[in-house]
Every structure is written in C-alpha cells, then in structure tokens.
C-alpha cells in the first residue's frame, strides 16, 4: 500500500489526512510533520490510524510520496531533503517551485517525481495538451475577496487600503512569476499555470480585489494553435483558511488517488 507522509496540517493537510483515514485513498498515512508539532498531535488524535508526529527528515524517510501542504518558505528545506532521498513528492505551495528549475533536473537524475495538482483551478489538462502546439497568449484573472488578500506582503508594502475599496479593483497585473512572489499564499494557481505551458510562452496574471466578495474566482483564457479556451472556477473558500479554496485540497486528494488507481482519466 502507498505510504504517504504529510508536511503541514492546516486547511489542506487536514483534509488530505482525513481522506486517507476514511480510506478514500488506498494508502497509509505514515507520518505527520509541522512547524507546530502540537497541531500535528491534535490532528493525529482525531485519526483512526494515529500517525506518528515526526521531524521532516523522518517523515520523508518513511514515505513513498511526501506531501507538502505547508508554505512556500517550507519548500526550501522540503524539496532538497526529498530530492536527496530520491523521494516522490506532491507540492501544494507551487509558487515556491518557480525559479528552481534545477530541482526538476535533479528529480530527473534521481528518478523521482514532483506532482503538482491542479489546485484551485481547472483546465490544466487541456492547457497541457494545447501546449504541445504553439500558445499565443495565456491569461489568469483571479478575483479575491478582501478577506483573502488582507495582510499580503504586496498589499502591505504598497499601502493598498483594501477596506476603502467600493468596487472591484485590479491591484496587480504582471507575469505569473511576479504574481507568485508578490502573493505567496494566494497565487499558487498562477505558478501552476506557468508550469503547465512552455517556458517561452508568457503567462499574464491579474489580481482583482472584490469588496464584499465571498468566493475565489479564477478565469483562465488561452489562445493558440489549438484554438481558444476559457475556464472559470468559482471557489468556495476553506472554512479554516479563507485564502485557500476547498477545491485545492480536493485536487491533492484526486492526484493521490490517481497514483493508486489503474484507470486515469484526463491528460
């Protein structure tokens, strides 16, 4: 049975852990790790399998697939340690992968896989197919409730007064790489789109603050040799973390299910 270890027991980590515990995934949760071990112990106590709470290295050693659901900052430690052990990994803090193409090369050399779930967006299957041909333009517009943007470094640094907005306002427009750096907690989808298309095709991102908004809405438009594609996802936020869409955890679960099932549907 597939052995899964988990770094990060927040909104996404807890949902993944429960799915494994409820046998939605044919796998065993072998270890939990978090910078706040007390949170991991609390989670473990709610699970039938009572996975041990261990240090990061130990968790990776125990796993066939090490799952990261922590933060972009955590990747700097997590990925090199998983690579050193030739471990497959699933990454949720996708923005932290941008600028680290050396990690992809090392994974090739080590023969290990880096899984990036579709997260809070849809359409990456079609976009990957489209990328086999020429892509002329790829755009992502993310509409976010003010609550999901509050406290973001970009917002604070620029003194953007979110509370005084009275209508939808574009607060960021630029390349996906910049969006992922500017909004590390909320623009992982921009990074996933960036990774899905060829590096030579630009990916433009717009972030719109929505006063009184309650959902994270992502719209993707791609134009290319294949034709045109438009995808819109209206995401319900996680109850425990308004920055995180419920779909993101479901995407991680679907990716892990894919690893254990004979039938794979979609690109």
Ligand X SMILES: NC(=O)c1ccc[n+]([C@@H]2O[C@H](COP(=O)([O-])OP(=O)(O)OC[C@H]3O[C@@H](n4cnc5c(N)ncnc54)[C@H](O)[C@@H]3O)[C@@H](O)[C@H]2O)c1
Tell me which residues are annotated as active site: 218
- Complex with ligand X: residue 33 or 131, whichever CB lies closer: 33
- Binding segment (CB under 6 A) for ligand X, from list 79-87, 145-153, 167-175, 181-189: 181-189
Segment contacting ligand X by CB under 6 A, of 79-87, 167-175, 182-190, 217-225:
182-190
Query: CA 170 to CA 71: how far, in whole Å?
Result: 25
Residue 31 contacts ligand X per CB under 6 A: no
Residue 9 within binding range of ligand X, rule CB under 6 A: yes
Nearest to 69 by CA among 40, 110, 105: 40
Give the nearer residue to ligand X in terms of CB position, either 124 or 210: 124
Stretch that binds ligand X, among 19-27, 185-193, 205-213, 223-231 (CB under 6 A): 185-193
What's the min distance (Å) between Cβ of 124 and ligand X? 10
* 73 interacts with ligand X by CB under 6 A: yes
Any contact of residue 11 with ligand X (CB under 6 A)? yes
The answer to whether the CB of 196 falls within 8 A of the CB of 97 is no
Query: Cβ atoms within 10 A of the Cβ of 246, count?
Result: 17
49, two tokens = 């399998």
Q: Per rule CB under 6 A, is residue 32 in the interface with ligand X?
A: no
CB of 79 to ligand X, least distance (A): 12
Nearer to ligand X, 13 or 31 (CB): 13
- Which residues fall within 8 angstroms of residue 166, CB to CB, at 6 or more apart? 211
Does 244 help bind ligand X (rule: CB under 6 A)?
Answer: yes
Closer residue to ligand X (CB): 75 or 259: 75
* Count of chain residues binding ligand X (CB under 6 A): 30
Residues that bind ligand X (CB under 6 A): 7-13, 34-36, 39, 69-74, 92-94, 119-120, 185, 188-189, 192, 241, 244-245, 248
């Amino acid at each position: 049975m597939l052995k899964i270890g988990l770094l990060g027991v927040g909104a996404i980590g807890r949902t993944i852990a429960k799915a494994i515990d409820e046998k939605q995934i044919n796998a065993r949760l072998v270890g939990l790790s978090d910078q706040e071990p007390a949170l991991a112990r609390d989670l473990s106590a709610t699970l039938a399998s009572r996975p041990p709470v261990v240090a990061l290295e130990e968790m990776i050693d125990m796993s066939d697939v090490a799952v990261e659901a922590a933060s972009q900052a955590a990747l700097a430690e997590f990925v090199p340690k998983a690579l050193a052990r030739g471990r497959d990994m699933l990454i949720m803090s996708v923005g932290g992968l941008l600028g680290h193409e050396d990690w992809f090369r090392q994974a090739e050399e080590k023969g290990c896989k880096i899984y990036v779930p579709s997260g809070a967006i849809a359409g990456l299957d079609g976009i990957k197919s489209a990328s086999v041909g020429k892509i002329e333009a790829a755009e992502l517009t993310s509409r976010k409730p003010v609550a999901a943007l509050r406290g973001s470094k970009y917002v604070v640094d620029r003194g953007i007064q979110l509370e005084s907005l009275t209508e939808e306002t574009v607060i960021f427009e630029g390349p996906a790489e910049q969006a992922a750096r500017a909004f590390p907690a909320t623009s992982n989808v921009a990074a996933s789109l960036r990774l899905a298309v060829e590096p030579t095709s630009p990916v433009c991102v717009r972030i719109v603050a929505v006063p009184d908004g309650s959902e994270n809405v992502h719209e993707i438009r791609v134009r290319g040799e294949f034709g045109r594609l438009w995808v819109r996802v209206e995401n319900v936020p996680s109850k425990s973390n308004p920055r995180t869409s419920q779909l993101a955890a479901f995407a991680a679960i679907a990716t892990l299910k894919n690893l254990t099932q004979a039938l794979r549907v979609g690109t």
